[in-house]
Structure 1
Amino acid sequence: MSITILKGTVVSAPALGKLDITENGCLVAEDGKITGVFPALPEQYAGAAVEDYGDALILQSFADLHLHAPQYPMLGMGMDLPLLDWLNTYTFPTEARFADPDYAREVYRKLARELIENGTTRVCMFSSLHREATLILMEELEKAGVTGYVGKVNMDRNGIPALQEETEESQRETLRWLEECRDFRHVKPILTPRFTPSCTNELMDFLGKLAAERGLPVQSHLSENTGEIAWVKELHPDCGQYWETYAKYGLWNDRTLMAHCVWSDARERAAMRVAGVTVVHCADSNQNICSGTAPVRVMLKEGLNVALGSDIAGGDHLSMFDVVAASIRASKARRILDGWDTDFLTVAEGWYLGTSAGAAFFGEQPGFAPGNRLHAIVLEDGDLPQPHPLTAAERLERCVYRRQKDAVRAVWSEGRLTFSREKK
Structure 2
Amino acid sequence: MNKHTHIFQGTAFTSKSAKEVHILKDYLFCVNASGMIEQVVSPEDADYQTLLDAYQDKENFHRLADGQYFLPGFIDLHVHAPQWAQSGTALDIPLYDWLNTYTFPLESKFSDLDFAQQVYQDVVSTLLANGTTTALYFATVHKEASILLAEICANQGQRGLVGKVVMDHLENNPEYYRDLDTQTALVDTEDFIIAVKELAKSTKQGVYPVVTPRFIPSCTDASLQGLGELAAKYDTYVQSHCSESDWAHGYVQDRFNKNDAFALNDFGLLRDKSVMAHCNFINDDDADLFARTGTAVCHCPVSNAYFANSVIPIAHLQAKNVEIGLGSDISGGFSPSLFDNIRQAVISSRMLEDGVNPALPAEDRGVPNSRITINEAFYLATAGGGESLSLPIGRLETNYVWDVQIIDTTVATAKLPIYQADENLHDVFQKILYLARPENIREVWVQGKKVHSRTV
C-alpha displacement at 1:22, in angstroms? Answer: 2.2
Any gaps of 5 or more consecutive residues in structure 2? 356-364
> Which amino acid in 2 is paired with 1:180?
A
Secondary structure of the structure 2 residue equivalent to 1:54 = coil
1:171 aligns with 2:183: no
State the match for 1:116 in structure 2: 128
Aligned equivalents of 1:387, 1:105: Cα separation in 2: 41
**Bigger CA drift: 176-185 or 352-361?**
176-185
State the match for 2:37 in structure 1: 34
Aligned equivalents of 2:296, 2:27: Cα separation in 1: 33
Write out per-residue CA displacement over residues 298-345 of structure 1, whole angstroms, 9 at most, x where no aligned residue.
001111111100001001111111111111111111112363511411
> Which amino acid in 2 is paired with 1:394?
D
Write out per-residue CA displacement over residues 235-283 of structure 1, whole angstroms, 9 at most, x where no aligned residue.
224xx22212211111112111111110111111111111111000000
Secondary structure of the structure 1 residue equivalent to 2:436 = coil
State the match for 1:47 in structure 2: 54
C-alpha displacement at 1:179, in angstroms? Answer: 2.5
Aligned equivalents of 1:411, 1:118: Cα separation in 2: 9
Aligned equivalents of 1:372, 1:64: Cα separation in 2: 18
Within 5 A, what are the aligned runs for 1:277-288? Answer: 277-288=295-306
Identity %: 29
**Bigger CA drift: 124-133 or 397-406?**
397-406
CA contact (8 A) 1:321 1:399 kept: no
The partner residue of 2:24 within 2, 18, 22 is 22
State the match for 2:450 in structure 1: 417
State the match for 1:341 in structure 2: 368
State the match for 1:13 in structure 2: 15
Aligned equivalents of 1:163, 1:54: Cα separation in 2: 51
CA contact (8 A) 1:312 1:318 kept: yes
Aligned equivalents of 2:177, 2:327: Cα separation in 1: 24
State the aligned residue count: 421
**Bigger CA drift: 125-134 or 263-272?**
263-272
C-alpha displacement at 1:388, in angstroms? Answer: 4.5
> Which amino acid in 1 is paired with 2:303?
S
C-alpha displacement at 1:293, in angstroms? Answer: 0.7
> Which amino acid in 1 is paired with 2:16?
P
C-alpha displacement at 1:111, in angstroms? Answer: 0.9
State the match for 2:280 in structure 1: 262
State the match for 1:139 in structure 2: 151
C-alpha displacement at 1:405, in angstroms? Answer: 5.9
Secondary structure of the structure 1 residue equivalent to 2:368 = coil
1:162 aligns with 2:176: yes
Within 5 A, what are the aligned runs for 1:226-245? Answer: 226-237=246-257, 240-245=258-263
CA contact (8 A) 1:82 1:290 kept: no
State the match for 1:189 in structure 2: 209
Aligned equivalents of 1:404, 1:327: Cα separation in 2: 17
State the match for 2:382 in structure 1: 355
State the match for 1:204 in structure 2: 224
Aligned equivalents of 1:101, 1:200: Cα separation in 2: 27
> Which amino acid in 2 is paired with 1:162?
Y
CA contact (8 A) 1:24 1:54 kept: no
CA contact (8 A) 1:22 1:38 kept: no
C-alpha displacement at 1:191, in angstroms? Answer: 0.3
Aligned equivalents of 2:175, 2:334: Cα separation in 1: 27
State the match for 2:431 in structure 1: 398
CA contact (8 A) 1:411 1:417 kept: yes
**Bigger CA drift: 265-274 or 386-395?**
386-395
Aligned equivalents of 1:304, 1:83: Cα separation in 2: 26
Question: In structure 2, do the counterparts of structure 1 residues 218 and 26 end up closer, same or farther at CA, with 3 Å as the change threshold?
Answer: same
| RMSD of Structure 2 on Structure 1 (CA) | 1.7
CA contact (8 A) 1:82 1:291 kept: no
State the match for 1:225 in structure 2: 245
1:386 aligns with 2:417: yes
**Bigger CA drift: 101-110 or 402-411?**
402-411
> Which amino acid in 2 is paired with 1:201?
D
Write out per-residue CA displacement over residues 16-61 of structure 1, whole angstroms, 9 at most, x where no aligned residue.
1211112222222122111233233352564233211123111101
CA contact (8 A) 1:15 1:366 kept: no
CA contact (8 A) 1:310 1:320 kept: yes
Aligned equivalents of 1:164, 1:43: Cα separation in 2: 61
Question: In structure 2, do the counterparts of structure 1 residues 365 and 285 end up closer, same or farther at CA, with 3 Å as the change threshold?
Answer: closer
Aligned equivalents of 1:226, 1:340: Cα separation in 2: 19
State the match for 2:399 in structure 1: 371
**Bigger CA drift: 395-404 or 75-84?**
395-404
Aligned equivalents of 1:374, 1:387: Cα separation in 2: 27
C-alpha displacement at 1:193, in angstroms? Answer: 0.4
Write out per-residue CA displacement over residues 44-95 of structure 1, whole angstroms, 9 at most, x where no aligned residue.
5642332111231111010001110011111111111122221111111111
The partner residue of 1:96 within 108, 127, 132 is 108
TM-score w.r.t. structure 2 length?
Answer: 0.89
CA contact (8 A) 2:242 2:278 kept: yes
CA contact (8 A) 1:14 1:368 kept: no
Aligned equivalents of 2:379, 2:39: Cα separation in 1: 19
Aligned equivalents of 2:248, 2:416: Cα separation in 1: 46
Aligned equivalents of 1:212, 1:134: Cα separation in 2: 21
Secondary structure of the structure 1 residue equivalent to 2:98 = helix
Aligned equivalents of 1:419, 1:134: Cα separation in 2: 23
1:148 aligns with 2:160: yes
Any gaps of 5 or more consecutive residues in structure 1? none
CA contact (8 A) 1:127 1:150 kept: yes
Aligned equivalents of 2:370, 2:190: Cα separation in 1: 46
The partner residue of 2:117 within 102, 105, 117 is 105
> Which amino acid in 2 is paired with 1:47?
A
**Bigger CA drift: 98-107 or 209-218?**
209-218
